Amino acid sequence: MRILLIAVVLAAGIAIGAAAPAVTGLVRTTLATAGLPPSLFTFAAGPEAGTPAAGGGPAEPDGHDHGKPAAKAGDGHGEHAHSEAEGEEGHIKMTAEQVRNQDIALTKAEGGILSRHILVPGTVTPDTDRIARVPARVVGTVAEMRKRLGDAVRKGEVVAVLDSREVADAKSEYLTASVKAELEKTNFDRQQALWDKRISAESAFLNAKAAYSEASLRQDLARQKLSALGLNAAEVAKSAKQDETTPNTSTLRQYELRSPLSGRIVERKVDVGTAVGKEGDPADLYTVADLSTVWIELSVPTSELAKVKEGADVTVTPSQEGGERHERGKVIFVSPLLNADTRAARVVVTLPNKDMAWRPGTYVTAEVEIAQDKVGVRIPKAALQTVEGKRVVFVRTEEGFEKREVELGRSDDDAFEVVSGLKPGEDIAVANSFLLKAELGKSEADHEH
């Protein structure tokens, strides 16, 4: 009878434990009073009573499972967080003060001109319109050399003095003719006055007139001879009067040579005492050059010659200095003839040389403009960055900057044409745009974590 009662109680306990885990404590007490082992009520309690469930933690007294896994990425909350991250991608928040502090310079995307160029070698030469020689125009001997090599001279300044018998003869002839003409004029004026009063004979008047005409003609011929020698008749007459007061310092044989232009003495060819003017003698005393402007002689290949036009801009850099210095000039001449040996054409560029740094004979590299292309949107190369293999610019927005992928077209040394991705008038970062690229990478890394 007792065994039957235990069996009934056991069956009832199992059923109640399965149906209501909350009363498992009463069942345990009853089974323990009946003398049953603890393993039975452990079985009766099941996993909900105390055994950890698979994949979860132990049950808490309040009946909630705090070891439950977090919501999956596909549930409603996870999808909302992802969409927010996507909304911030490619954007950098930055205040105007931060932009100034990081020296991020801005410029507007605008239309402009792209210039295409070719590179050709060249040589610096003197401008032939600004180089002149000081010739020995008369036969004589060098008495003075007033300028040294490298000295600066002004146009018309005396640079040398010759001692010349030829000059002395020409001056003497003119002075004699001048005195003769003056005397004949006085006689003619007197005879004309007498003839007007019918005091003298007509023949005397006519003879005086003929003599005066002949003297005037000789004076004119002597003046022209002086002019052919480069002498001024008025100055010769003035010097003769001065010589009358200082006979020991006669200037009759002196012939002054003057500089034909302003510049520097680049060649000195004779010394004091050198005979000049005769066949076989030195023809020049000095070479004067104005190097404030020089020429660049370029040798352009035939294949590129048709692209080079007179008036084109040229940027010149020294070959030896690695391009540290540069100067801008213009093409002034394109030869229609080709060099038979090199099959290249002569192209001349005029170049400013105010500081005299471009020395004739120097080898240079010239960048010659061959075309100008007008484009709708032109941006500096400094504005471009590469992100994930794509060319981008950073466009200024109200909150900071936006990464903008652009499609590029033609280019020159300084800028690119933007075919798509950017509109004229938009502000873009130029200087220090790499800081924005670094900030963008940092923001995207934070979103991934």
Query: pLDDT, tens digit, for every residue of 140-151?
Result: 999 999 999 999
Domain ranges of the chain: 1-69, 95-112+374-448, 118-127+290-371, 131-161+257-288, 165-252
Confidence at residue 444, expressed as pLDDT on a 0 to 100 scale: 58
Is residue 374 within 8 A of residue 427, CB to CB? The reply is no
Token duo for residue 184: 């004949």
Confidence at residue 302, expressed as pLDDT on a 0 to 100 scale: 84
Q: Which has more pLDDT, 44 or 134?
A: 134
Query: pLDDT, tens digit, for every residue of 138-186?
Result: 999 999 999 999 999 999 999 999 999 999 899 989 999 999 999 999 9
Q: Which of 371, 359, 354, 363 is nearest to 298 (CA)?
A: 363
pLDDT band with cut points at 50, 70 and 90 for residue 303 = confident
Helices 233-245/202-228 angle, 10° precision: 100
Average pLDDT of every residue of the chain: 78
Q: Which has more pLDDT, 323 or 349?
A: 349
318: which residues sit within 8 A by CB, 6+ positions away? 324, 325, 362, 363, 364, 365
Query: pLDDT, tens digit, for every residue of 249-263?
Result: 678 888 999 999 999
- Residues 95-112+374-448, CATH architecture: Beta Barrel (2.40)
pLDDT band with cut points at 50, 70 and 90 for residue 9 = very low
Q: Which has more pLDDT, 413 or 58?
A: 413
The pTM of the whole model exceeds 0.85: no
The CATH code belonging to domain 118-127+290-371 is 2.40.30.170
The CATH code belonging to domain 131-161+257-288 is 2.40.50.100
Distances (CA, A) of 40 to 3, 14, 82, 272: 16, 9, 51, 139
Q: Which has more pLDDT, 8 or 263?
A: 263
Confidence at residue 157, expressed as pLDDT on a 0 to 100 scale: 94
Q: Which has more pLDDT, 107 or 69?
A: 107
Distances (CA, A) of 309 to 116, 347, 370, 371: 13, 10, 7, 9
Strands (E), 88-213: 91-93, 106-108, 110-126, 131-135, 140-145, 152-153, 158-163
